[in-house]
Chain A
Amino acid sequence: MPKQADFIRKRNFKEVALGYSAEDAIEEAGRCLDCKKPFCVDGCPVEIDIPGFIRAIAEEDFALAIKILKEKNCLPAVCGRVCPQEEQCEIKCILEKKGAPIAIGRLERFAAEWESQQDSIEMPVIDDKTGKKVAVIGSGPAGITVAGDLILQGHDVTMYEALHEPGGVLTYGIPEFRLPASVVTREIEYLQKLGVKLICNFVVGKTRSLKKILDEYDAVFVGTGAGLPWFMNIPGENLNGVYSANEYLTRVNLMRGFQYPKTYTPVVRHKKVAVVGGGNVAMDCARTALRLGAEEAVIVYRRSETELPAREEEYENADEEGVKFSFLTLPEKLYGDKNGWLKEIECSKMELGEPDASGRRRPIRIDGSEFRMKMDACIVAIGNSPNPIIPQTTPELAVSKWGTIEVDEESFKTTIDRVWAGGDIVSGAATVILAMGAGRKAARSMHEYLSSLT
């Protein structure tokens, strides 16, 4: 798929991927074998009829393609961009064995972009109104999926959002160059057109308790996502210039800090930036730092390249843009100047030992290998705990020792009657599509319950 050239894109916030042209898409779709037993569908957490929409693209019926996608996925423009297709649908593609699976994600993105350029979009048929009321708490990927599914089944859906803009991690977390804000806005507006009521600036658990919300609705879904960032618990983490990935990305994305001083939320333009962690979020931070003018952005990861959890595509993009990688490196101590600003990071080199519980080889510190890196910023991107507000203010709700809400694995029901939960608040930090998959399953169970009411 065509991309902005690396030397250009590393200094702007425009989307990296330029997308398929109609010709590209038709040609790519034409390669699909249209398998009788399509394994790709098994790999999709939301069970999209993949061969169906691809066949429609090959036959140049783009309207049908998007219709098929939207039957199972209310966020095709988002998923086409940020789903890890290479480990879900594409890895299951028969052509994968020959080395080149169908680019399912890119085709999904193409269909969604095609639709956005049409004068009018075809609205799906909504089932007869049931008169049942549902509250969805959190407007991130899980909440959006629940809202999208239940509104189509005729229920009244109200979605609550704590921040001033909807979208959850799609808005505050994923950078503009990977998922433009306009794409998220479009998808949310579509939900509103379907009849979903959106209330921003409302913190359930604070503005109103979950219990009170429950009095007003027949069923409630909790998808409140990420909470407090994890730090490394090493000396110096509260120095100025040390950020959590959540903070750094929220400043830039939600608060549009990359447009400072036109916008008022400042982002310091650091020159030498270390990003600790190896996931997509770490890549996002390093690439953001470069776009903000950093001379050097280094990913500091304690395991090796093989264990890097980021998507191949994001690793490649980061590498092309000039992000440096310091593998098998563990930060041990942060040093600051007399005004409390970060100056140096002391690290140790690591080697890989036996596989640990996650199946990845355990990194072991090499004694005496300490060295220092001169850095003026350090972004900690090693994950976060679930959002604490609802568990903190709802004592009846059972939570695990990690603070995630406990649910029934199949139905996503919580320990409180009529309350379901899904997404990062249940699983801990995961991907957009896994949150959507959880939302899909919860919505199914919620619909079943709502239909049983007279």
Chain B
Amino acid sequence: MFKIIERKSIVPNLHLLVVHAPDVVETIQPGQFVIIHCGEGSERIPLTAADWDREEGTLSIVFMEVGTSTGKLAMLQPGDEIPTVVGPLGVPIEIEKFGVVVCIGGCFGLGSIFPVVRALKEKGNEVITMLEGRSKNLLYWEEKLSKYSDKVIKLTRDGSYGYKGHVKKGSELLRELGIKPDRVIANGCTTLSYLASRDYAHFDVPVIVTLNTIMIDGTGMCGVCRCTVDGKMKFACVDGPSFDGRLVDWEELAARRKQYISEEAFLVHHSGCGGF
């Protein structure tokens, strides 16, 4: 069993979960994920690591409450135990001395980009971190990310904090400042990853995104996470989850993510109440 150390809502709809999983954090690297399963009847949910403490044996995750299974996770309290936290899964994101690296995080991706930012900085890169959100109240971990960033750019779609706009605004700012990144890394929902891949392509450097595909086993067995990258079939769980977004077939990815929308909506509306 895996003990919950902390669970709190950090911004509306997003939760921080800290769980004791010493074996998992022993070898975990930036960009890797775990699968959490809350026991009989639950789904297996893939979630990217947002931080860890090897000495304490704890793993931090930022997740969005979207359906029944994440709803269950959002109810956990310190001291509770869950049966499955398995990982680290997936291939670690490539961390090298690239030069100038732009790291973009949005939504739960503000959490999962943190280990990437930290590792890039420790490797000697100049790290420009962009925090993206609909509004000021949806941004978090600014201080934590700033510690490992040479420059922090805040982007809000309503202009309530930092610059007004989506990730495209960030790319325009870079151009105005005369900064040419050697690599761009974006973490967040499929829309953010897609927009980053599109709006930063003109820099002609890899735009690494972490795909949020549906998964079951997460160990290269079921094949539900398949996607098309550079015209080839890839499996996000063992070939990814990080890929160069410029080569991803986004239309297909977006359609595949909607496979269970109606089933998920059914559960959200019907679970627990026993009626219509």
Contact = CB atoms under 8 A, between A and B. Distances in A.
Interface in A245-271: 246-247, 250-251, 254-256, 259-266, 268
Contacts, number: 135
Q: Which of B26, B44, B271 has the most CB of A within 10 A?
A: B44
B228 A261 contact: no
B217 A163 contact: yes
Q: Looking at chain B's contact residues, is the secondary structure mostly helix, strand, loop, or mixed?
A: mixed
B221 A164 contact: no
Interface in A391-405: 392
A193 interface: no
B87 A207 contact: yes
Nearest to B233: A231
A21 interface: no
Contact of B263 (A201, A243, A250, A268): A268
Given A164-B44, A227-B220, A240-B258, A201 B84 contact: yes
A261 B260 CA distance: 12
Interface in A223-254: 226-229, 231, 237-240, 243-244, 246-247, 250-251, 254
Contacts of A237: 233
A3 interface: no
Interface stretch (B35-43, B53-61, B102-110, B201-209): B35-43
A262 B23 contact: no
A268 B256 contact: no
B23 A229 contact: no
A162 interface: yes
B222 interface: yes
A176 B69 CA distance: 24
A339 B261 CA distance: 12
B222 A244 contact: yes
Q: Which residue of B220, B228, B256 has the most chain A CB atoms within 10 A of its CB atom? A: B220
B221 A208 contact: no
A366 interface: no
B68 interface: yes
Binding site secondary structure of chain A: loop
A389 B89 CA distance: 10
A339 B257 CA distance: 11
Nearest to A338: B255
B168 interface: no
Interface string A362-403: 000000000000000000000010011100100000000000
Interface of A: 162-164, 172, 200-203, 206-209, 226-229, 231, 237-240, 243-244, 246-247, 250-251, 254-256, 259-266, 268, 339-340, 384, 387-389, 392
23 contacts: A162-B217, A203-B87, A203-B219, A206-B27, A207-B23, A207-B26, A208-B23, A209-B27, A226-B221, A228-B221, A238-B233, A238-B256, A239-B255, A244-B224, A247-B222, A256-B40, A263-B42, A264-B43, A264-B267, A339-B255, A340-B252, A389-B219, A389-B238
Interface of B: 23-24, 26-27, 37, 40-44, 68-69, 83-89, 216-217, 219-224, 226-228, 233, 235, 238, 251-252, 255-256, 258-260, 263-264, 266-267, 270-271
